[in-house]
């Protein structure tokens, strides 16, 4: 990876820009801590940045972030093995409210995910979104100036940045990766600022999505909304004389690292502790691990478990499902409602089916350290990913990477990008509750040989298509540009 980067960069700077930072500094009981956010994008890019060095520009969101950064907002990371620089961009409360909670997460997020939540478009949010994209452009331009550089922009928070950068730093080569789905033109057309967004995105030399389907949706959207020439053969768009290549790059996880860490003694010890603490001694265990988000289909999953327990009383007392949901975006009303709904469902299902000390659902609503996560993956007879819509879904790939014992069944929503690659999973439709209940029973009853054969194949896929391949493919494409 390092060699590839050096060869491709030919002395040029490599800069990653994202809203979320890879480490958040905070004070807990007076002690300084560096937390890893539960964000698929930040977790995926950290190993890549460790391999490449370079600079990462992101919003400084932790309450102790300023304490550890220098006058330019910079510090070296990761804390235990500094190998790259993080430059923090400071935002006011109002900017964060309008840009992050407002336009990014109340308008673009529901617009791009078909989860039947109505986007909210507020003029004020849009203004903040523009303002913050401009701030990010300032921070990057300050670092590269007129020099040639590679800038790799992440996600829907920064859709205007590629164009702003091209105006400020004409010698920069810019790629943007869109981590969430791109909807079809019928859905996208309701956005009041759709042409500004497309104009901003088409400042990129390369625009990446997880799967081909999202690329096609994007090309169709541009075809409908802008005076631009889509070149379907080349999967590119020519707009005002400039070409943007549209490509799919399925993101993944650091397979080798997860495989190694999940096989350690500390994880085995934690598995035993968890069995004791959660009262899971001789039980079959299912797990679900998510950011608490309405796109992840957590209520649908709980309803299917309820149905399964109705249909298969033999499993009462012999089965438990551990649902981990780390709260996120709590300033958005829809997310608070989701947490209430999940709390109520867990309570209701445990009351309805529970007996004596046995409860079918164990609910953990906090952030877990990697040892804890891997211990849960390793304990599980099955992992249930029931997203209503998901760009990729890294939990599915982490589960596979953590199963060095070749055990465990993956139940995976057909509406995730991951379902295109992980063919040996049991493919589910989270809206079809009765069918999903039967598939849970199928996962629990699957014979050992079939389970192991499926898992071995899944592991081959994730081992080969790991996060370094994702990054290398993008960097190689950047290197081929004139
Ligand atoms: P996310 O929607 O954040 O990512 P996902 O890909 O599932 O979703 O990644 C979540 C990450 O958070 C995983 O690495 C998981 O281990 C971690 N996590 C979840 N709950 C946790 C907990 N309680 N404690 C600790 N860690 C936890 C967006 C898109 C996805 C896309 C990614 C990457 O929505 O579709 O896969 O970006 O492109």
Mean pLDDT for the stretch of residues 207-217:
97
Residue 282 has pLDDT above 90, yes or no: no
pLDDT at position 479? 83
Residue 297 has pLDDT above 90, yes or no: yes
From the CB of 328, is ligand 1 less than 6 Å away?
A: no
- Tens-place pLDDT, residues 396-430: 999 999 999 999 999 999 999 999 999 999 999 99
The token pair that represents 14 in the structure block: 């490599």
pLDDT at position 480? 84
The token pair that represents 473 in the structure block: 């493919």
Pair 441, 311: CB distance under 8 Å: yes
From the CB of 436, is ligand 1 less than 6 Å away?
A: no
Nearest to 395 by CA among 293, 475, 468, 302: 293
The class of domain 2-251+467-479 in CATH terms is alpha beta
pLDDT confidence tier of residue 145, bands split at 50, 70 and 90: confident
Q: How many CB atoms lie within 10 A of CB 397?
A: 30
Q: How far is the CA of 29 from the centre of ligand 1 (A)?
A: 27
Residue 279 has pLDDT above 90, yes or no: no
Instruction: Identify the DSSP state of 145.
Output: T
From the CB of 285, is ligand 1 less than 6 Å away?
A: no
Q: In the chain, helix, strand, coil percent, each to 5?
A: 50, 20, 30
The token pair that represents 306 in the structure block: 């309820």
From the CB of 36, is ligand 1 less than 6 Å away?
A: no
Residue nearest to atom 11 of ligand 1 (CA): 40
Residue nearest to atom 10 of ligand 1 (CA): 40
From the CB of 322, is ligand 1 less than 6 Å away?
A: no
Mean pLDDT for the stretch of residues 195-204:
98
Domain assignments of the chain as residue spans, ordered by start: 2-251+467-479, 258-464
pLDDT at position 345? 98
From the CB of 168, is ligand 1 less than 6 Å away?
A: no
Say yes or no: do domains 2-251+467-479 and 258-464 share a fold: yes
Q: Report the nearest atom of ligand 1 relative to the CA of 43.
A: 14
Q: How far apart (Å, rounded) are the C-alpha atoms in residues 65 and 47?
A: 21
The percent of residues above 90 in pLDDT, for the chain, comes to 87
The percent of residues above 70 in pLDDT, for the chain, comes to 100
- Tens-place pLDDT, residues 5-59: 778 877 788 999 999 999 999 999 999 999 988 777 787 788 778 888 889 999 9
Residue nearest to atom 19 of ligand 1 (CA): 290
- Tens-place pLDDT, residues 463-474: 999 998 998 899
Nearest to 244 by CA among 226, 262, 271: 226
Q: How far is the CA of 311 from the centre of ligand 1 (A)?
A: 32
pLDDT at position 1? 73
Nearest to 286 by CA among 359, 354, 364, 379: 379
Q: How far apart (Å, rounded) are the C-alpha atoms in residues 12 and 478?
A: 12
Q: How far is the CA of 262 from the centre of ligand 1 (A)?
A: 18
Q: How far is the CA of 326 from the centre of ligand 1 (A)?
A: 10
Q: How far is the CA of 35 from the centre of ligand 1 (A)?
A: 15
Mean pLDDT for the stretch of residues 442-449:
97
Q: Report the nearest atom of ligand 1 relative to the CA of 369.
A: 25
- Tens-place pLDDT, residues 305-334: 999 999 999 999 999 999 999 999 989 999
- Tens-place pLDDT, residues 213-225: 999 999 999 999 9
pLDDT confidence tier of residue 151, bands split at 50, 70 and 90: very high
pLDDT at position 399? 98
**SS3 at position 305:** helix
Lowest pLDDT segment from 51-60, 90-99, 123-132: 51-60
Helices (H), 233-297: 255-262, 265-278
Q: What are the residues whose beta carbons fall under 8 Å from the beta carbon of 160, sequence distance 6 or more?
A: 129, 130, 133, 134, 196, 197, 200
Residue nearest to atom 26 of ligand 1 (CA): 38
From the CB of 353, is ligand 1 less than 6 Å away?
A: no
480 vs 245, residue with greater confidence: 245
From the CB of 39, is ligand 1 less than 6 Å away?
A: yes
Q: Is the dihedral of CA 466, 467, 473, 479 positive or negative?
A: negative
Q: How far is the CA of 396 from the centre of ligand 1 (A)?
A: 10
Nearest to 283 by CA among 319, 329, 236: 319
The class of domain 258-464 in CATH terms is alpha beta
pLDDT at position 180? 97
From the CB of 395, is ligand 1 less than 6 Å away?
A: yes
């Amino acid at each position: 990876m390092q060699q590839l980067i050096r060869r491709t960069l030919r002395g040029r700077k490599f800069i990653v820009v994202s809203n979320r930072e890879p480490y958040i500094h905070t004070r807990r009981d007076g002690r300084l801590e560096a937390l890893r956010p539960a964000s698929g994008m930040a977790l995926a890019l950290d190993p890549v940045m460790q391999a490449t060095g370079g600079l990462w520009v992101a919003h400084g969101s932790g309450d102790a972030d300023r304490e550890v950064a220098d006058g330019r907002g910079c510090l070296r990371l990761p804390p235990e093995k500094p190998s790259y620089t993080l430059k923090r961009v400071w935002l006011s409360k109002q900017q964060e409210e309008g840009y992050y909670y407002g336009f990014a997460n109340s308008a673009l997020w529901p617009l791009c995910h078909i989860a039947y939540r109505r986007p909210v478009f507020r003029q004020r949010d849009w203004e903040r979104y523009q303002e913050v994209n401009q701030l990010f452009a300032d921070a990057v331009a300050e670092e590269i100036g007129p020099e040639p550089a590679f800038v790799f922009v992440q996600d829907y928070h920064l859709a205007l940045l590629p164009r702003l950068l091209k105006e400020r730093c004409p010698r920069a080569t810019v790629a943007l990766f869109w981590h969430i789905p791109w909807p079809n033109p019928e859905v996208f057309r309701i956005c009041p600022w759709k042409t500004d967004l497309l104009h901003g995105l088409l400042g990129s030399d390369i625009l990446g999505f997880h799967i081909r389907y999202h690329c096609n949706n994007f090309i169709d959207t541009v075809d409908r909304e802008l005076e631009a020439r889509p070149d379907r053969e080349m999967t590119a768009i020519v707009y005002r004389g400039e070409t943007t290549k549209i490509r799919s790059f399925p993101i993944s996880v650091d397979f080798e690292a997860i495989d190694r860490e999940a096989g350690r003694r500390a994880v085995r010890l934690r598995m035993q502790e968890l069995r004791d603490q959660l009262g899971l001694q001789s039980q079959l265990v299912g797990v679900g691990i998510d950011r608490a988000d309405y796109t992840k289909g957590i209520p649908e999953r709980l309803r299917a478990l309820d149905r399964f327990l109705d249909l298969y009383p033999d499993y009462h007392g012999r089965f438990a499902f551990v649902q981990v949901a780390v709260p996120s975006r709590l300033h958005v009303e829809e997310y608070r409602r989701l947490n209430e709904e999940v709390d109520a469902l867990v309570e209701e299902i445990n009351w309805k089916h529970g007996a004596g000390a046995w409860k079918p659902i164990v609910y953990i609503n906090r952030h877990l350290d990697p040892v804890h996560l891997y211990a849960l993956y390793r304990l599980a007879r099955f992992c249930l990913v029931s997203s209503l819509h998901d760009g990729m879904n890294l939990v599915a790939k982490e589960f596979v990477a953590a199963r060095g014992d070749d055990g465990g069944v993956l139940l995976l929503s057909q509406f995730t990008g991951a379902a295109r690659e992980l063919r040996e999973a049991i493919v589910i439709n989270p809206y079809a509750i009765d069918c999903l209940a039967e598939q849970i029973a199928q996962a629990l009853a699957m014979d050992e040989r079939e389970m192991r054969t499926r898992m071995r194949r899944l592991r081959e896929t994730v081992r080969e298509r790991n996060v370094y391949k994702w990054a290398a493919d993008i960097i190689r494409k950047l290197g081929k540009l004139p």
